[in-house]
């Protein structure tokens, strides 16, 4: 109801086309009282697109003014201008301030520059009702006012242009995210030896984009135009953008897991380390908890490299990691590791150190590790679905020397927790990317990405 009212009242007919969907938070962006408007580019861009409330149906009692002969106040008639032929034309630029009882020229208030910006109708507002008709006529015929109206129109065209561009790039990014989600969820590699469309060595990422383009004329056109760009062309298909998306998506998956753990409150921890192919020891950090459906789930959080093998080192790293994610060690109810003395030791092992902090964190020796000691390869080769650690040991042993830590963690979590990855919303991912990209740019673009 409120939105409808806003839309009905908003108008600069020469300037704007009102879009209902975009006025949902109009009052937060642009207060209804003109004296409260923030005068900046952000407001100008918003008004150029969506207009402002004129407050024609507000309570005008505060506008009362005592003259020597009688009391006068604002009437609705003032919101229309009578043309020479008797026709009424709405004064779409006029806006009433309920807090002051004055009227303002909304367009000049926002777009006026130079000395003219100090005119009464732009600053303090006008309330001389006896001379209103004459003064308003003079104002709307002034060059200053007409210039502001034109400025508003130009602003609108610029915004519409940006709007079209934004829709175009969102379509591109949507396709990029589809490809990244597909490859990451299956643990497939992204890059090939040659970053070039049309090459059969360009890797899975570019290959999949090419496959989509075969049936998607939009992407085909985009790849043809800027897929293999010279300097200065933006395509948003490069490996750099791909990597940025991998980090953003992985961050969203971890956030979702941490939210689930916080909802569950109590959790158990499972940690284990194994050297990767470059002989860097990677500590896998896994958390187990009960999800909203009442089922126990194990979630991989991250690899932590080179923690050291002493119980004290691992304890410090685990406590720091829990603190990073704002998880309280006092909510830990279980811990499970291998049977090595540094982990399981009753007096100074890692589990004993955790118990010193929280005696409710029961230690359960990992049965998979016990079996592991009997026949490691048989266990890893089985179809058993017992522990996520098993999958991690497999994954780590195959890691490439060239994989950086951030990328390793991101790709691991996207592959292992692919159910969460697949539940993520495309627009949320693209919005996060857009926010990151435009932090240093104009608030207008931010608004447009944000509003969509
Ligand atoms: Zn004006």
pLDDT digits (tens, 9 = 90+) for 72-124: 999 999 999 888 788 888 898 899 999 999 999 988 888 877 766 567 787 88
More confident of the two residues 356 and 276: 356
pLDDT score of 442 more than 80: no
Q: What pLDDT, on the 0 to 100 scale, is given for residue 26? A: 60
Closest C-alpha among 451, 426, 422 to residue 174: 426
Mean pLDDT lowest for which of 124-133, 139-148, 156-165?
156-165
More confident of the two residues 253 and 30: 253
Angle between helices 443-451 and 143-185 (to 10 degrees): 60
Binned at pLDDT 50, 70 and 90, residue 12 comes out as very low
More confident of the two residues 398 and 38: 38
As a dihedral over the C-alpha atoms of residue 417, residue 184, residue 225, residue 170, rounded to 10 degrees, the angle is: 0
pLDDT score of 382 more than 70: no
The CA distances from residue 442 to 47, 81, 84, 107, 438, in Å, are: 16, 37, 44, 21, 7
How many angstroms is it from 408 CA to the middle of ligand 1?
59
Q: What pLDDT, on the 0 to 100 scale, is given for residue 265? A: 93
Interval 42-52 mean pLDDT? 80
pLDDT score of 196 more than 60: yes
- 3-state DSSP call for residue 302? strand
Cβ atoms of 337 and 272 closer than 8 Å: yes
The CA distances from residue 220 to 206, 216, 243, in Å, are: 12, 6, 22
pLDDT score of 23 more than 60: no
What distance in Å separates the CA atoms of residue 406 and residue 248, rounded to the nearest whole number? 11
Q: What pLDDT, on the 0 to 100 scale, is given for residue 214? A: 95
Q: What is the DSSP letter of 54?
A: -
How many angstroms is it from 60 CA to the middle of ligand 1?
21
User: Ligand 1 (ion): which residues have CB within 5 A?
Assistant: 105, 108, 145
How many angstroms is it from 160 CA to the middle of ligand 1?
23
Q: What pLDDT, on the 0 to 100 scale, is given for residue 365? A: 78
How many angstroms is it from 238 CA to the middle of ligand 1?
48
How many angstroms is it from 72 CA to the middle of ligand 1?
23
The CA distances from residue 287 to 129, 270, 305, in Å, are: 71, 6, 18
As a dihedral over the C-alpha atoms of residue 52, residue 54, residue 59, residue 63, rounded to 10 degrees, the angle is: 120
pLDDT score of 140 more than 80: yes
How many angstroms is it from 143 CA to the middle of ligand 1?
9
Distance of CA 255 to the CA centre of its chain: 13
How many angstroms is it from 145 CA to the middle of ligand 1?
4
- 3-state DSSP call for residue 109? helix
H or E stretch covering 104: strand 102-105
Q: What pLDDT, on the 0 to 100 scale, is given for residue 297? A: 92
Q: What pLDDT, on the 0 to 100 scale, is given for residue 13? A: 34
Q: What pLDDT, on the 0 to 100 scale, is given for residue 210? A: 96
Interval 357-370 mean pLDDT? 79
Binned at pLDDT 50, 70 and 90, residue 206 comes out as very high
- 3-state DSSP call for residue 105? strand
Q: Domain locations in the chain?
A: 41-152, 156-244+439-450, 250-416
Interval 175-202 mean pLDDT? 91
Q: What is the mean pLDDT of the chain?
A: 80
What distance in Å separates the CA atoms of residue 102 and residue 99, rounded to the nearest whole number? 8
Bridge-based pairing of strands 102-105 and 80-82 is: unpaired
How many angstroms is it from 65 CA to the middle of ligand 1?
23
Q: Can you name the residues that pair with 274 across neighbouring β-strands?
A: 282
- 3-state DSSP call for residue 256? helix
Q: What pLDDT, on the 0 to 100 scale, is given for residue 262? A: 94
349 CB burial (10 A radius; 0-12, 13-18, 19+): buried
pLDDT score of 425 more than 60: yes
Q: What pLDDT, on the 0 to 100 scale, is given for residue 379? A: 44
How many angstroms is it from 110 CA to the middle of ligand 1?
9
Residue range 293-342, pLDDT digits in tens: 999 999 999 888 877 878 888 899 999 999 999 999 999 998 988 777 77
Residue range 276-305, pLDDT digits in tens: 767 778 888 899 999 999 999 999 998 888
Mean pLDDT lowest for which of 7-16, 37-46, 59-68?
7-16
pLDDT score of 20 more than 60: no
H or E stretch covering 155: helix 143-185
Interval 418-446 mean pLDDT? 74
pLDDT score of 63 more than 70: yes
The verdict on domain 250-416 having CATH code 1.10.3470 is no
Determine phi and psi for 317, rounding to 5 degrees.
-65, -45
pLDDT score of 212 more than 90: yes
How many angstroms is it from 126 CA to the middle of ligand 1?
12
Q: What percent of the chain has pLDDT over 90?
A: 34
How many angstroms is it from 76 CA to the middle of ligand 1?
18
Q: How many residues does the chain have?
A: 452
pLDDT score of 155 more than 80: no
Query: Residue 53: which residues within 8 A CB-CB, separation 6 or more?
Result: 6, 9, 10, 26, 32, 95
pLDDT score of 381 more than 90: no
């Amino acid at each position: 109801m409120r939105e409808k009212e806003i839309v009905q009242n908003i108008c600069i007919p020469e300037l704007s086309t009102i879009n209902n969907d975009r006025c949902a938070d109009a009052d937060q962006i642009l207060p209804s009282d003109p004296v409260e408007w923030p005068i900046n580019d952000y407001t100008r861009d918003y008004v150029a697109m969506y207009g402002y409330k004129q407050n024609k149906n507000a309570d005008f009692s505060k506008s009362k003014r005592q003259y020597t002969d009688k009391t006068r106040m604002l009437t609705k008639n003032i919101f229309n201008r009578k043309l020479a032929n008797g026709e009424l034309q709405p004064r779409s630029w006029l806006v009433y301030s309920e807090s002051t009882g004055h009227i303002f020229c909304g367009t000049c208030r926002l777009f006026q520059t130079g000395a003219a910006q100090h005119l009464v109708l732009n600053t303090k507002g006008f309330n001389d009702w006896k001379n209103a008709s004459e003064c308003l006529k003079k104002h709307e015929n002034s060059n200053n006012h007409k210039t502001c109206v034109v400025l508003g129109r130009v602003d609108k065209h610029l915004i519409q242009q940006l709007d079209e561009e934004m829709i175009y790039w969102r379509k591109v990014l949507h396709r990029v995210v589809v490809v990244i989600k597909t490859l990451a969820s299956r643990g497939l590699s992204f890059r090939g030896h040659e970053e070039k469309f049309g090459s059969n060595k360009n890797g899975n990422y570019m290959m999949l984009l090419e496959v989509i383009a075969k049936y998607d004329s939009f992407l085909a056109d985009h790849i043809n135009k800027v897929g293999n760009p010279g300097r200065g062309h933006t395509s948003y298909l490069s490996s750099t953008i791909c990597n940025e998306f991998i980090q953003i998506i992985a961050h969203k998956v971890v956030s979702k897991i941490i939210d689930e753990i916080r909802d569950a409150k109590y959790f158990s921890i499972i940690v284990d380390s194994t050297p990767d192919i470059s002989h860097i020891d990677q500590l896998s950090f896994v958390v187990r908890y009960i999800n909203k459906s009442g089922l126990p789930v194990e979630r991989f959080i991250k690899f932590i490299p080179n923690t050291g093998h002493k119980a004290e080192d691992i304890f410090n790293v685990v406590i720091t990691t829990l603190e990073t994610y704002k998880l309280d060690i006092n909510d830990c109810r279980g811990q499970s590791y291998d049977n090595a003395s540094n982990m399981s030791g009753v007096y100074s092992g890692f589990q004993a150190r955790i118990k010193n902090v929280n005696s409710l964190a029961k230690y359960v020796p990992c049965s998979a590790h016990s079996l592991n000691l009997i026949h490691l390869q048989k266990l890893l080769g089985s179809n058993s679905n017992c522990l996520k650690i098993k999958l991690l040991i497999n994954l780590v042993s195959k890691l490439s020397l060239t994989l950086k830590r951030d990328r390793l963690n991101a790709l691991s979590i996207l592959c292992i927790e692919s159910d969460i990855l697949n539940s993520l919303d495309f627009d949320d991912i693209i919005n996060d990317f857009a926010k990151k990209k435009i932090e240093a740019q104009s608030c207008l673009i931010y608004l447009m990405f944000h509003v969509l």
